[in-house]
Amino acid sequence: MITINLLIRLPIIGCMLIFPSLAFAQDGDPVAGKNVFRKCQACHTVQQGQHRQGPSLYGVIGRRAGTAEGYKRYSEAMKNYGIIWDANNLNIYLENPKKALPGNKMPFVGLKNIKDRQDVISYLQQVVK
Chain positions contacting ligand HEC, by CB under 6 A: 39-40, 42-44, 53-55, 57, 60, 65-66, 68, 74-75, 77-78, 85, 90, 94, 104-108, 111, 120
What HEC string does 58-116 produce?
A: CCCCCCECCCCCCCCCCCHHHHCCCCECCHHHHHHHHHCHHHHCCCCCCCCCCCCCHHH
121 touches 36 (CB < 8 A): no
3-state secondary structure of 64: strand
The nearest distance, CB 3 to ligand HEC, in angstroms, is 45
Q: Least separation, in Å, of the C-beta of 32 and ligand HEC?
A: 13
Q: Which is nearer to ligand HEC, 6 or 31 (by Cβ)? A: 31
User: Closest separation between CB of residue 19 and ligand HEC, Å?
Assistant: 20
Residue closest to 127 by CA, chosen among 13, 40, 9: 40
Q: How far is the CB of 72 from ligand HEC (least distance, A)?
A: 10
- For ligand HEC, the closer CB: 14 or 107: 107
Q: Which of 14, 103 has the CB closer to ligand HEC? A: 103
